[in-house]
Amino acid sequence: MTILIAGGGIAGLTLGLTLHQIGVPFHIYESTPEIRPMGVGINLQPNAVRELLDLGLANALDSIGVKTRQYGFYSKLGKTIWEEPRGTWAGYAWPQYSVHRGAFQMMLYHALIDRAGPDCLSTGARAKGFESTDKGAALLLTDGRRIEGDLIVAADGIHSALRAQIAPNEGPPIWNGRILWRGTTRAKAFLGGAAMVMIGHDQLRLVAYPISEPDENDNVTLNWIAEKRFDPSSAWKREDWNRAADINDFLPEFSNWKFNWIDVPALIKGAEVVYEYPMVDRDPLDRWTHGNVTLMGDAAHPTYPVGSNGAGQAIIDARIIGARLLDHGITAAALQAFEDEVRPIATRVGRANRAGDGPDGVLQQVEDLCGGDFEDINSVIPLDDLAAHAAKYKSLAGFSIEELNAKPPIIAKGAKIT
C-alpha cells in the first residue's frame, strides 16, 4: 500500500512526514535535480505551527525561525492604522513564525530523510500525469516511467501538471496586474523587532519582517516585498514569473517612504537578492479528487499571498489528509473526505484574498478616506471596526484564537493506521 506524492515542496514534504508518523508507506517525486533552499520569507500561522510541533519539529523550527510578536498596517505616510500582537503574545497556545522558505523546506527535507530514510524521495522526477489502474493509480513521469501506487497526491505547486490533467482548459495562472519584488536585506530591526508591517495602499505597498534573530550588532535579515499595480492588460514582463529583478524598476516609487521607524529606500538599496513575481492565482476548481488522485497545497488552491497563510494551508492540508486516512484507510474515500472538508474553506479564502477582503483591505480604505494622512485613526475608521475586520479573516482562514486553542489535535498523539 503506497501513496505517491508529486512534488517535494512545503506540502509534499509535510505530507511525507505525516504519512511516516501514522505508518503509511509513501514516495515523493520531485522535479528539481536536488532539493535546494529556494525563495525568501514566509509566515507560519499558529494553526500550522501547532501541526509542526505535533510532528516533533519544535526545536528544528525554533532554530531557523523568528517568533513574530506584532503585525501592523501603516499608511503611505508611515502612520499607524492598526497594530495587533501575534502568536503567543495574542493569546494563541502556539507561536507564529517568520522563516526563510528555503531554510524551512530544507528543515522539513532533513527531518524526513532522517526519519524515513533517503529512499523515500526521488529528485529529477517530473510528473506529467496519472492513469487509473485496477488497484489504484499510476503516476506518469516525463522520463517515461510509470509508477503504480494506491493513491496519488499532487503537491506540485501552482503550475501543477496533475491539475492540468484534471482541468485541461484552465490555462496559465491569472495575473491581477500587481508585481511583487521580494528581497532580503541585512539591517536593524524596527518597532522593537519581530514585527511584521504592511505600508501603503493597493497601488503601491511594502511588506517587511525579520526572518533572523538579531546578531551581536543588532542586525537582522529583513524580508521585504515591494508591490506595484500595473494595468493588467499591459505586457509587463508577464512571461517572466520568477526571475532576478532590477531594483531601479521600482525604487523611485518609494523614494519618499522614509519614516522615523523605517527607511524604505535604504532597505531596498541594501538588498542581497531581489526576485520579481507577478501576483497570480487561479479560479477555484469544483473538484480536486478524481478517484484515487487528489490535489493539495498550491496545486489545489493557489491564492494571492496577502493573508500570510499559503504555506500554512499546505501544512494543514497534509495533516487533514493524514487524519482522513486514519478514518477511512488508504482509500479514495479518504481523499474525498479531505476535499469535502478543505475545499470550501480554501475557496472562501481565495475569493476573499482576490476581492481585497484580506486583512490588508484596510490599507486602501484609509487611502480612499484620507489619503493616508490623519491625526487619530479612530476618526477615519473606528478601532472596533478594524478589530472586527482582523478577527473575521482569522476565523475564515482557520486561525481564530479561541477556536484554535479549543480544537483537539488534527491527528491524535500516537495514532497509527491499522
CB nearer ligand FAD, residue 87 or residue 305: 305
Question: 28 pairs with which residues across the strands?
Answer: 5, 121
CB nearer ligand FAD, residue 130 or residue 236: 130
126 binding ligand FAD? (CB under 6 A): yes
CB nearer ligand FAD, residue 53 or residue 125: 125
Residue choice 3, 4, 8, 82 for contact with ligand FAD (CB under 6 A): 8
88, 45 contact by CB (below 8 A): no
245 binding ligand FAD? (CB under 6 A): no
318, 405 contact by CB (below 8 A): no
Look at strands 195-200 and 121-122 and give their pairing: unpaired
Helix (H, G, I), strand (E, B) or coil at 372: coil
Provide the minimum distance between the beta carbon of 397 and ligand FAD in the complex, in angstroms, as a whole number.
14
If you ran DSSP here, which 8-state letter would residue 249 be given?
G
C-alpha cell at 136: 489504484
CB nearer ligand FAD, residue 144 or residue 414: 144
Provide the minimum distance between the beta carbon of 382 and ligand FAD in the complex, in angstroms, as a whole number.
32
Provide the minimum distance between the beta carbon of 47 and ligand FAD in the complex, in angstroms, as a whole number.
14
27 binding ligand FAD? (CB under 6 A): no
32 binding ligand FAD? (CB under 6 A): yes
Residues 93-112 binding ligand FAD (CB under 6 A) are 101
396 binding ligand FAD? (CB under 6 A): no
C-alpha cell at 88: 503567543
292 CA to centre of own chain: 26
C-alpha cell at 279: 501576483
Give the DSSP letter string of 21-70. HHT--EEEE-SSSS----S-EEEE-HHHHHHHHHTT-HHHHHHH-EE--E
Provide the minimum distance between the beta carbon of 97 and ligand FAD in the complex, in angstroms, as a whole number.
13
Provide the minimum distance between the beta carbon of 351 and ligand FAD in the complex, in angstroms, as a whole number.
17
182 binding ligand FAD? (CB under 6 A): yes
Q: Any idea of the CA torsion for 308, 309, 312, 314, to the nearest 10 degrees?
A: -130
Torsion over CA: 28, 32, 37, 38 (sign):
negative
173, 282 contact by CB (below 8 A): yes
Provide the minimum distance between the beta carbon of 99 and ligand FAD in the complex, in angstroms, as a whole number.
10
Binding window for ligand FAD (CB under 6 A); candidates: 3-11, 258-266, 397-405, 407-415: 3-11
C-alpha cell at 172: 496559465
Counting residues that bind ligand FAD (by CB under 6 A) gives 31
Residue choice 3, 11, 121, 196 for contact with ligand FAD (CB under 6 A): 11
278 binding ligand FAD? (CB under 6 A): no
**Non-local CB neighbours of 358 within 8 Å, separated by 6+ positions:** 304, 306, 307, 352, 393
Provide the minimum distance between the beta carbon of 413 and ligand FAD in the complex, in angstroms, as a whole number.
25
Cα-Cα end-to-end distance for the chain: 12
Provide the minimum distance between the beta carbon of 43 and ligand FAD in the complex, in angstroms, as a whole number.
8
114, 125 contact by CB (below 8 A): no
350 binding ligand FAD? (CB under 6 A): no
| Alpha carbons 373 and 76: distance in angstroms, whole number | 8
Residue nearest to ligand FAD (CB): 9
Provide the minimum distance between the beta carbon of 369 and ligand FAD in the complex, in angstroms, as a whole number.
30
Residues 279-298 binding ligand FAD (CB under 6 A) are 297-298
Provide the minimum distance between the beta carbon of 79 and ligand FAD in the complex, in angstroms, as a whole number.
27
- CB atoms closer than 10 angstroms to residue 129: 17
Question: 356 pairs with which residues across the strands?
Answer: none
161 binding ligand FAD? (CB under 6 A): yes
Q: Which positions touch ligand FAD (CB under 6 A)?
A: 6-12, 29-32, 38-40, 42, 101, 126-127, 155-157, 159, 161, 182, 297-299, 305, 310-311, 314
